[in-house]
A and B are shown apart, each in its own frame.
Chain A
């Protein structure tokens, strides 16, 4: 029954109630009006006391990765919602078992947690929500639909692929360990050893020596830093038409893999691309997230790469930076290795930039 039909009915009953001098007729009219009003207020109270809460407002996941999304439905009033339908709008993402929608009964003061798993096929920026809710009073005279604006901004990053990125020593004193005394880092004390002829006096650990009544020399960690710089070529004309989309996506995935590796190794990472907006970021710490966000949204541009990125960037990047150029040749080389069923596919890099 639509709302106005119920109210018209109530109005007619009210008019009849006022003019009919008969107890039974008045009783029928009052009962009808009371039922309609009770239903209306039931629906109104329920509508005002339904709350939806999410624990997160932002989500970052890799393409084809499964992630659990959850939200809580709360009924903060004493009235139950017997037929309660919820639907969390998840456009363009795949929802497993369609658990983002459901039909439940919400008892008085009940909290219900809804959890479902999603996966994205393509990278990009998406939005989950709002949550749409539909319920009514027990007599279904007054249905209500609510749209609760509880959204999650989802950034889908390029898919994770198996790609081994090996580092070449850039310059000494960093986060990466190496067994080469040329890269000794005197700020990172490792251990002490017995004094050997030829050891410098300034390296002697006098405290330990005094304690053990014998000379001991300090030993330091050998470490180096190798800043990463990834150049991504997304010029459309450099890729063959028939497999352009597939190859360019693979190139982006390779670039993302390298950037993630740099984050894992706690190395500075820079990025530049012949792609949409032509981004350029100099190597810096804690920049991986920003680069991955760029890679989530970057698109190809028409044209051809008509310069040598190595030559161009050599002068701009600090010495010791590992330069990775990802373009059509690198992608084809990757696919060739995949075809040969090679297990450990390495990235190729131009090498550490030298003066």
Chain B
């Protein structure tokens, strides 16, 4: 099955999280630059071009690593180990490039970026597992299978709720960032605005992908596998709605609020006339007196050397134990069977191969055109209205009307056939005009249709017009000829 939505979703995950981190970094940069509280002079929290580059590269690495982890069903502990080693490696790279000016902000941004991105990528793994379950089934078999095996569907539904919450949360966060920047009159450059636009477009398309998955799961439970035939057209309509909404947004937005809210703040200043109370006197000698008195009561209670030694040993043991646990925790994933098998079976190479294939497929899908399928439309039915109109305006006998009724039904089936082959009927066309179009169609497609077809079309058009405009009824042979001609064409 074509999993294009899955691929699109993964790309959108990357763009959402990367744009979110860029927006956060820009916001933090604005705070550090404009806010006097943070301008200490000695402390520099570096957010510059290199920080953005590192974040972008982290996004790509996290995307690849998350996919591998999800495919190999890696547990939480190795993921934590990965992020710890990644942060160490990141800081090492920063040290190599920038010297001692380490961007401390990355210590906070990188884990958050990783966690958010992993959570969104996990959703697609759950979806893949769910679809793999029923891909080769359809109809009643699929319905019954999913009725009895609905664990993956439930997991997917739960995960979807989490993802929806996450996306809503980060959308609100970005909105608040923009609001705060606006209120504090921080400078919002074109790139920042573009980042906001990319973020919200990605979130919108992600919601579209989630809704698609939701519908897919719903109809799979009823027994239908193929949701939409023409996905490109569907996507175009979604994009058109978004563009239209965006244009309305551009036109209707401004820098002034329609309802202006005013805040009246009262400040009360208190003057303290009373003199400050005197500072208490500290009697340090009192402590020495207490110590002498205690020695008199209990004797010289000095530290026991054996107890001290035991405590020291325990302290060392605890430190060694803690250090050892951390080391084992960090090293253990590299000693597991899964890790050895991963390299033994060249899974990384296979992963990148598949990734390239997926990208190729997506590009091919976007840039290959599809032949438009023609279909029967409601317009064909208007032919009957045209004939009825004509009969109303002219005085025809009962037998003539009955004959035209019979012939019109057959002509309408001819129009339906024509519409399915791309020969559109217009209300203003005369019957012979339409049959001439069909004749031209046959002439242009000589290889597909036999020459008899042209003759049949011509006969059908001629006889129908004769019946329509002549006062006399068609003879029995003529009517049979007409019926045979239409039947041969259809």
Query: Which A residues are within 8 Å of any B CB, using their own CB?
Result: 17-32, 34-35, 38-39, 42, 74-76, 80, 82-83, 85, 98, 101-103, 105, 107, 109-112, 138-140
Q: Is B32 an interface residue (CB 8 A)?
A: no
A22-B182, A98-B140, A138-B238 known; A38 and B245 CB under 8 Å? yes
Which listed residue (B227, B229, B241, B250) contacts A138, Cβ 8 A? Answer: B241
Q: Could you say which residues of chain A place their CB within 8 Å of the CB of B188?
A: 24
Tell me the complex Cα distance, A31–B241, Å: 10
Which listed residue (A17, A30, A83, A102) contacts B215, Cβ 8 A? Answer: A83
Contact B252 A26, beta carbon cutoff 8 Å: yes
Which listed residue (A25, A31, A82, A110) contacts B179, Cβ 8 A? Answer: A25
Per-residue interface assignment for chain B, residues 359 to 388, with 1 indicating a CB less than 8 Å from any chain A CB and 0 otherwise: 000000000000000011111110000000
Q: Could you say which residues of chain A place their CB within 8 Å of the CB of B379?
A: 109
Tell me the complex Cα distance, A79–B376, Å: 16
Q: Could you say which residues of chain B place their CB within 8 Å of the CB of A28?
A: 175, 178, 196, 200, 249
Contact B175 A139, beta carbon cutoff 8 Å: no
Of listed B196, B222, B245, B260, residue having the most chain A CB within 10 A: B245
Q: Is B255 an interface residue (CB 8 A)?
A: yes
Taking A22-B255, A83-B215 as given, write out 13 further A-B residue pairs in contact, using a Cβ cutoff of 8 Å, ordered by the A residue number: A20-B182, A21-B255, A22-B178, A22-B183, A24-B196, A28-B175, A28-B196, A35-B242, A75-B378, A82-B233, A105-B228, A105-B230, A111-B381
Tell me the complex Cα distance, A29–B228, Å: 31
Of listed B238, B257, B259, residue having the most chain A CB within 10 A: B257
Q: Which B residues, 190 to 205, have Cβ-Cβ distances below 8 Å to chain A?
A: 193, 196, 200, 204
A20-B179, A26-B252 known; A74 and B378 CB under 8 Å? yes
Closest B residue, CB atoms, query A79: B237
Could you tell me the distance in whole angstroms from the C-beta of A33 to the nearest C-beta in chain B? Answer: 8
Tell me the complex Cα distance, A98–B142, Å: 13
Contact B259 A76, beta carbon cutoff 8 Å: no
Contact B253 A23, beta carbon cutoff 8 Å: yes
Q: Could you say which residues of chain A place their CB within 8 Å of the CB of B260?
A: 21
Could you tell me the distance in whole angstroms from the C-beta of B75 to the nearest C-beta in chain A? Answer: 33
A34-B244, A110-B377, A111-B376 known; A26 and B254 CB under 8 Å? yes
Tell me the complex Cα distance, A28–B234, Å: 24
Contact A18 B245, beta carbon cutoff 8 Å: no
Contact B219 A103, beta carbon cutoff 8 Å: yes
Contact A31 B234, beta carbon cutoff 8 Å: no
Contact A103 B226, beta carbon cutoff 8 Å: yes
The 9 A-B pairs of least Cβ separation, nearest first, read A22-B182, A34-B245, A26-B253, A31-B249, A27-B253, A21-B257, A30-B249, A140-B211, A103-B224
Q: Could you say which residues of chain B place their CB within 8 Å of the CB of A27?
A: 249-250, 253
Contact B252 A30, beta carbon cutoff 8 Å: yes
Q: Could you say which residues of chain A place their CB within 8 Å of the CB of B1?
A: none
Per-residue interface assignment for chain B, residues 234 to 271, with 1 indicating a CB less than 8 Å from any chain A CB and 0 otherwise: 10011001101110111011111111110000000000
Q: Is B403 an interface residue (CB 8 A)?
A: no
Could you tell me the distance in whole angstroms from the C-beta of A292 to the nearest C-beta in chain B? Answer: 30
Q: Is B86 an interface residue (CB 8 A)?
A: no
Q: Could you say which residues of chain A place their CB within 8 Å of the CB of B380?
A: 111
Closest A residue, CB atoms, query B219: A103
Closest B residue, CB atoms, query A36: B245
Contact A34 B255, beta carbon cutoff 8 Å: no
Closest B residue, CB atoms, query A85: B219
Query: Which B residues are within 8 Å of any A CB, using their own CB?
Result: 139-140, 175, 178-179, 182-183, 188, 193, 196, 200, 204, 207-208, 211-212, 214-215, 219, 222-224, 226-230, 233-234, 237-238, 241-242, 244-246, 248-250, 252-261, 375-381
Q: Could you say which residues of chain B place their CB within 8 Å of the CB of A98?
A: 139-140, 223
Tell me the complex Cα distance, A287–B94, Å: 99
Q: Could you say which residues of chain B place their CB within 8 Å of the CB of A110?
A: 375-378
Contact A24 B376, beta carbon cutoff 8 Å: no
Q: Could you say which residues of chain A place their CB within 8 Å of the CB of B230?
A: 82, 105
Which listed residue (A25, A102, A103) contacts B175, Cβ 8 A? Answer: A25
Tell me the complex Cα distance, A82–B376, Å: 17
Could you tell me the distance in whole angstroms from the C-beta of A101 to the nearest C-beta in chain B? Answer: 8
Of listed B140, B214, B233, B377, residue having the most chain A CB within 10 A: B377
Q: Could you say which residues of chain A place their CB within 8 Å of the CB of B215?
A: 83, 140
22 of the cross-chain contacts (CB-CB < 8 Å) are A18-B257, A21-B255, A26-B249, A28-B200, A30-B248, A30-B249, A31-B246, A34-B245, A34-B248, A35-B245, A75-B378, A80-B233, A83-B219, A83-B228, A85-B222, A98-B139, A103-B219, A109-B377, A110-B375, A110-B376, A111-B376, A111-B378
Closest A residue, CB atoms, query B183: A22
Of listed A76, A80, A139, residue having the most chain B CB within 10 A: A139
Closest B residue, CB atoms, query A1: B211
Tell me the complex Cα distance, A103–B229, Å: 10
Which listed residue (A26, A74, A103, A139) contacts B241, Cβ 8 A? Answer: A139
Which listed residue (A24, A32, A76, A109) contacts B178, Cβ 8 A? Answer: A24
Q: Could you say which residues of chain A place their CB within 8 Å of the CB of B179?
A: 20, 22, 25
Q: Could you say which residues of chain A place their CB within 8 Å of the CB of B261?
A: 19
Which listed residue (B193, B204, B246, B378) contacts A24, Cβ 8 A? Answer: B193
Closest A residue, CB atoms, query B257: A21
Could you tell me the distance in whole angstroms from the C-beta of B399 to the nearest C-beta in chain A? Answer: 24
Tell me the complex Cα distance, A69–B260, Å: 64
Contact A35 B241, beta carbon cutoff 8 Å: yes
Q: Could you say which residues of chain A place their CB within 8 Å of the CB of B228?
A: 82-83, 105
Could you tell me the distance in whole angstroms from the C-beta of A31 to the nearest C-beta in chain B? Answer: 4
Could you tell me the distance in whole angstroms from the C-beta of B160 to the nearest C-beta in chain A? Answer: 12
Could you tell me the distance in whole angstroms from the C-beta of A30 to the nearest C-beta in chain B? Answer: 4
Q: Could you say which residues of chain B place their CB within 8 Å of the CB of A101?
A: 222
Tell me the complex Cα distance, A240–B244, Å: 76
A19-B259, A39-B241, A83-B228 known; A76 and B378 CB under 8 Å? yes
Which listed residue (B140, B229, B257) contacts A105, Cβ 8 A? Answer: B229
Of listed B207, B223, B253, residue having the most chain A CB within 10 A: B253
Contact A139 B252, beta carbon cutoff 8 Å: no
Tell me the complex Cα distance, A110–B261, Å: 52
Of listed A24, A32, A42, A74, residue having the most chain B CB within 10 A: A24
